[in-house]
Structure formats: C-alpha cells, structure tokens
Amino acid sequence: MPKTLEEIFNQALADPSSSNLNGRGYESMMMHGVQIMRDNKSGDIKIFNPKGKEYHEELTFQEYEIFQEGWRKGVYKLVLHVYRKRLKVIEEIIPQVLSNKKSLMAMKEKRVGILKKYYKLTQKLNQLK
C-alpha cells in the first residue's frame, strides 16, 4: 500500500534506528545517511539522498517511489542503490590503476568495504520481507 510522506515521516520518528536532527524551524530524522525533514511552518516534507557529499540533495521522483513501502525499506533500498553506484565507479577505475600497486590496493580495499556494507544492509532488508 503506497505511503504518504506524512506516514513515512511518522515511521522515521518512531524508528529506533533513526537519529534525531531537529533544528530551528524543522524536524529531521536520519538513518544510514538518508535524511527526512519536515518544515514546521509549511509542513512540507522532503527526503534527501546520501550521495557522499558535504550536502544532501533532495530525492528524484523515482527515488521517492522507493519509499512507497515505508521508511526503513526505502532507506535500505536507496542506500543499496548508492552502494551499487559506488561499486560501479570503483570497477571502472581499477583497470586504469593496474600499473600503480598502491592505488590498486586502495581501490580493492574500498570495494571490499562497500561490499561488506552492502551485504549487511541486504541481510537487514531481507529480514523485513
């Protein structure tokens, strides 16, 4: 059953794994780098993507649809999507650094770290089904 942003926000508030990031004029929760925020004046609710930048970008329409199954499943699925993108970038870089052993080892270590996170999150997502 599709969820409204208000329902998703309330799920985030109730989720013990979500961190409270309230500030002046807004309520905000974060889980695995995904942030959901409600403006106190307008009541507008937005979800922001964890793209590994110093700032967060609001989700695209397609990314918002990931949250139709709820807050926690949406977070897990979105973060897994981000991990897949990071792995793809690493796999594209590895052939370019084959001659540089130090860079190659660093890329392999990054890849292993992301794969471990990916595996753990996949296990959590499978437990929700």
Q: What is the mean pLDDT of the chain?
A: 90
How high is the pLDDT of residue 100?
83
Q: What pLDDT, on a 0 to 100 scale, did the predictor assign at position 116?
A: 95
pLDDT tops 80 at residue 14: yes
- Long-range contacts of range 1-6, CB-CB < 8 Å, 24 or more positions apart? 2/68, 3/67, 3/68, 3/69, 3/70, 5/45, 5/47, 6/45
**For the residues 19-31, what does the mean pLDDT come to?**
94
Amino acid sitting at position 127:
Q
Q: Which of 27-31, 87-91, 98-102 has the lowest mean pLDDT?
A: 98-102
- Amino acid sitting at position 15: D
- The structure's pTM equals 0.85
pLDDT level of residue 103 (50, 70, 90 thresholds) = confident
> Does the pLDDT of residue 9 top 90, yes or no?
yes
Over residues 59-75, mean pLDDT: 93
pLDDT tens readout for residues 76-86: 999 999 999 99
DSSP per-residue codes, 53-68: SSS-EEPPHHHHHGGG
pLDDT at position 97: 83
Identify residue 105 by its one-letter amino acid code: M
What is the C-alpha to C-alpha distance for residues 102 and 97, in angstroms, rounded to an integer?
9
